[in-house]
């Protein structure tokens, strides 16, 4: 049985993200492994510091894995820390960079194996987008290939601030019957190990199928 999965709408590690306490509990530990890969060109060390402050208030410890480039993701030295982690958190940033770094890499394979072995995996903003396949391209709202931890579902993070034009484009081109999920900032769409979904946090989650609102029961 896989572990808990959290797809977060962005603005992670701040007031309103109370779901992180529950994710820690689900992991069974007090350590969080942060991959700031998506923020590689946006001062990833700052993202890690934010995570350290946030989880420190939850009596948890943050460790950062320096997987910022494709070479890093191919480095076998980065596999063991992921395999040993019980809570893995992908930060927000550039989804295109995150995908290009992790795709078909030992680091990605280790993350999938850790999740399938019961570890908690969370992705915020870009992290949430990339964990799904297809993935929404933030540059215009089209659909492109994601990494596919969750298949046949796409996520629009930052839903409360997302461009209406881009959203309309995404909903228009989405395959028939496939859910598109808008997740507000500081909000999580959580998949429990038994396959059920629920939302948590400061905002809301909106599911669309064929351009019309639907409920969480349609999610894969």
pLDDT digits (tens, 9 = 90+) for 108-158: 999 999 999 999 999 999 999 999 999 999 999 999 999 999 999 999 999
Vertex 212 angle, CA 208 and 213, to 5°:
60
Per-residue confidence (pLDDT) for residue 37, from 0 to 100: 98
Cβ count near 160 (within 10 Å): 18
- Distance CA(98)–CA(108), nearest Å, equals 11
pTM of the model: 0.97
pLDDT per residue as tens digits for the range 162-183: 999 999 999 999 999 999 999 9
pLDDT per residue as tens digits for the range 1-29: 799 999 999 999 999 999 999 999 999 99
Residue ranges and CATH numbers for the domains of the chain are 5-218 (3.40.50.880)
Cβ count near 181 (within 10 Å): 28
Per-residue confidence (pLDDT) for residue 2, from 0 to 100: 95
Residue-wise burial string across 47-79, b where 16 or more C-beta atoms lie within 10 A, e elsewhere: bbebbbebbeeeebebebbebbeeebbeeeebb
SS3 150: strand
Per-residue confidence (pLDDT) for residue 1, from 0 to 100: 75
SS3 140: coil
**Residue 46, pLDDT above cutoff 90:** yes
Count, residues in the chain: 220
pLDDT per residue as tens digits for the range 84-108: 999 999 999 999 999 999 999 999 9
DSSP string over 181-197: EEE-TTEEEEE-TTS-E
Cβ count near 88 (within 10 Å): 24
């Amino acid at each position: 049985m896989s572990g808990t999965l959290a797809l977060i709408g962005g603005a992670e590690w701040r007031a309103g993200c109370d779901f992180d306490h529950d994710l820690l509990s689900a992991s069974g530990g007090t350590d969080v492994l942060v991959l700031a890969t998506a923020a590689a060109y946006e001062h990833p060390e700052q993202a890690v510091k934010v995570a350290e402050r946030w989880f420190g208030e939850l009596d948890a410890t943050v460790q950062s894995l320096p997987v910022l480039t494709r070479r890093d993701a191919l480095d076998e030295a980065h596999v063991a820390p992921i395999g040993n982690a019980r809570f893995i958190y992908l930060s927000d940033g550039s989804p295109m960079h995150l995908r290009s770094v992790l795709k078909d890499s030992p680091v990605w394979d280790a993350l999938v194996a850790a999740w399938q072995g019961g570890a908690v995996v969370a992705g915020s903003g870009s992290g949430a987008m990339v964990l799904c396949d297809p993935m929404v391209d933030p540059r215009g709202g089209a659909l492109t290939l994601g990494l596919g931890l969750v298949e046949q579902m796409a996520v629009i993070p930052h839903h409360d601030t997302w461009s209406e034009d881009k959203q309309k484009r995404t909903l228009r081109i989405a395959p028939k019957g496939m859910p598109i999920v808008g997740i507000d900032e500081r909000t999580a769409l959580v998949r429990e190990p038994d396959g059920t979904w629920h939302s948590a946090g400061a905002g809301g989650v909106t599911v669309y199928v064929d351009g019309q609102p639907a409920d969480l029961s349609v999610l894969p």
